[in-house]
Amino acid sequence: MASRLRPRGPAELLSAMPYMLGFHPTDSLVALGLRGASLHLLLRCDLPASSGDGDVLADQYAHMFRRNALDGALLIGYGPPARAEPFLRTVADALTGCGIPLLDVLRTHEGRFWSLACERPGCCPPEGRPFDPTTSVIAAEATLAGLVALPDRSAVEAGFAGPSGPALAAMEEAGNRANLRVLRLVTGREPAAVRSLLLGAGRAALEGALGQYEAGRRLTDDEVAWMQVLLHIVAFRDRAWRRLDRDLRRGGPAAQAHRQLWTDLVRRCEPGAAAPAATMLAYLSWRDGDGLRATLALDRALDADPGYSAAGLMSQILGRGLSPEQLPALPRVGRRRRRPPGKALRAAGRPGRREASNRPAPAPGPGASEQASAERPGAAGRAERRRRR
């Protein structure tokens, strides 16, 4: 995403930043971590309300950058000097204290920018240097590459909202039909047969859904509800996760079909049933290097079920700024001990229940290379995630 743009100088970098983030930042700090000449890490957070909060965030940034063994960092503060500069300097001091060289420390506000690191007389006048992102070459290149900069973070967040009004009522009716369909499928069968039938139904539903999106079609409400119910069966969810991981690595039409499928499911699932699909979308966005959308999808999952363990895994990954760059493919999981069929059915038939199965893959260790944009540096709570980027 960000790697498509090659800004030349501070003005072009500032013009490119809304496209790299996906929205126009305000009252924010953006930190770019470089390895060689390549962007390796992109972080954004709101300017803190107090110096104490700023110290904590600065320390988290410094540890993250040091853990990545980055060659340099560049900081950008968005806002007036009284708001942006104290935090900029705190983060800059924390990074240099960890041995991370600073390439520049910029502040921008109302169409002008200043370099806090520049010491050359006459280079950075007190009134700042003007730039116009609407007429820059880099903005035109971003638009040509298909990148979009929405007005603010809330505009991006709106794209992750679930159904409401008549659309929600229609999905609730479809969900009831899907639950009855599961009951008819499993009633009177032995546990082993139930597991086999549900996994087979899940595989068929996933294959059919991906085929429809590859063909440019969209799922019906009943098809969305059927996927919504089946994804609460952990064994199927894990298989779908491994299929997603495999197809993203291969790229091509199948990977794009996954992006459309999981985005559509998150937008259309009943609010209390969205945890599995939203976690899958968070993983997909993280693998794509899109920390903002990964965090918004994770928020959706935790809104639906705060105890959903797969969402807890994604929270750890995003909180540590871990990257998919060297993450091995998800392993094939052997047959696991299953819950009694009655409990499995309740999990399938009652959206939003907590699931307590094994997670699909262990979180990579701190030594993993970090390539993706990250929404926030700490494993903070949901309110803290929303405060950032």
pLDDT tens digit sequence for 53-80: 899 999 988 988 888 788 899 999 999 9
Per DSSP, what are the bridge partners of residue 78? 28, 108
Q: How many C-beta atoms surround the C-beta of residue 104 within 10 A?
A: 17
pLDDT in tens, 211-225: 999 999 999 999 999
The highest-confidence range among 23-27, 136-140, 154-158, by mean pLDDT, is 23-27
Provide the whole-model pTM. 0.73
- What is the percentage of the chain residues whose pLDDT exceeds 70? 81
Query: 310-369, pLDDT tens digit by residue?
Result: 999 999 888 877 777 656 666 654 444 444 333 333 333 333 322 222 223 333 322 222
pLDDT digits (tens, 9 = 90+) for 12-21: 889 888 888 8
In the predicted model, what is the mean pLDDT of the chain? 81
pLDDT at position 104, please?
Answer: 92
Q: How far, in Å, CA of 264 to CA of 63, rounded?
A: 36
Q: What is the average per-residue pLDDT within 257-265?
A: 96
Least-confidence region, from 219-228, 229-238, 304-313, 362-371: 362-371
Dihedral sign (CA 183, 185, 191, 195): negative
Q: CA 66 to CA 69: how far, in whole Å?
A: 5
Domains of the chain by range and CATH? 2-152 (3.40.140.10), 165-387 (no CATH)
